Amino acid sequence: MTSATRSNPSLTLTVGSRGSKLALVQTRMVIDALGRIAPDVTVAVRIIRTEGDRNQHDSLTALGGRGVFVGEIEEQLLEGEIDFAVHSLKDLPASQPAGVCLVAVPERADARDVLVARNGLSLDQLPQGARIGSSSERRSSQLLALRPDLQNRNIRGNVGTRLRKLDENEYDAIVLAAAGIARLQLENRVSQYFSTAEMLPAVAQGALVVECREDDQLLRELFVPLDHQDTRTAVMAERAFLRGLGGGCQMPIAAHATLKGGELRLEGLVARRDGQRIVRDEIIGASAEPETLGAELSRRVLEKGGALLEMTNHHR
């Protein structure tokens, strides 16, 4: 954004986004929300292909886990090619590069996972040895804990691609995020919503985030009304849990925080990839200290056996 643009009350901004239908829908949600609070702002969308978009074959773990969908976008942000970026917050690593800040976390959507089966079957109804498509070791490990007979198959691609592969009989069922399904208005495809007791969500699942440059005071002020404090507090606790476990590159990690009054309840887990052991715990405390609670829960999980699981996963 040039100085001339900054001095003009009618701002023209450029947002960076991945090119999938879901990413563009989510970016449009933020643009529309911004338009309601700042109608003089015009936003152009720049589509940026990331490593995770280019490589549709290797698993996300093989590509390095969190961060494969955001690195190139953050580079363009720091270089001034774009003014802000919109991401699914669950795609972000536990820490941001220097010079980038999470300027707004809008109100979270449904954090749960869903099962989409070709015949509308629930998990219990799927046949013995059913083929389940999932790109997430967090999901696959918890699925195997529920149904050890399942055949876990890696699946990549956007939501539409995954549904097509399911319909073409490559899989008996797939697991997706409820929030993405809802944003694409595909709720009619859902066979089952998993409770958080059955499948704990990914850190920050269901939440979006707006990133801008740390020194861009104008945008930092502009996006303040889009920030939802309860959502930010919850995901801060979850991300602190993730950081306490070392970022989550080598093991399935899940966390979910809820707020009630001034109290925060955070559940977290670490699992073996085959689902044969899951270390799960929870902590309840003051919502004013989300990061302290997240760090404490990570310490507890590691002490209960999570550290051993990390070593086991790393050497598998």
Give the catalytic positions in this structure. 91
| Amino acid residing at 179 | A
Alpha carbon distance 239, 255 (integer Å): 8
Cβ neighbours around 316 below 10 Å, total: 10
Ramachandran quadrant class, 281 (left: phi over 0; alpha: psi -120 to 50; beta: rest): beta
- The amino acid that residue 160 corresponds to is G
DSSP the chain: --HHHHHSSS-EEEEEE-SSHHHHHHHHHHHHHHHHH-TT-EEEEEE---HHHH--SS-HHHHTSTTTTTHHHHHHHHTTS-SEEEEEGGGS-SSPPTTEEEEE-PPP----EEEEETT---GGGSPTT-EEE-S-HHHHHHHHHH-TT-EEE---S-HHHHHHHHHTTS-SEEEEEHHHHHHTT-GGG-SEEPPTTTSPPPTTTT-EEEEEETT-HHHHHHTGGG--HHHHHHHHHHHHHHHHTTSSSSS-EEEEEEEETTEEEEEEEEE-TTSS-EEEEEEEEETT-HHHHHHHHHHHHIIIIIHHHHHHHHT-
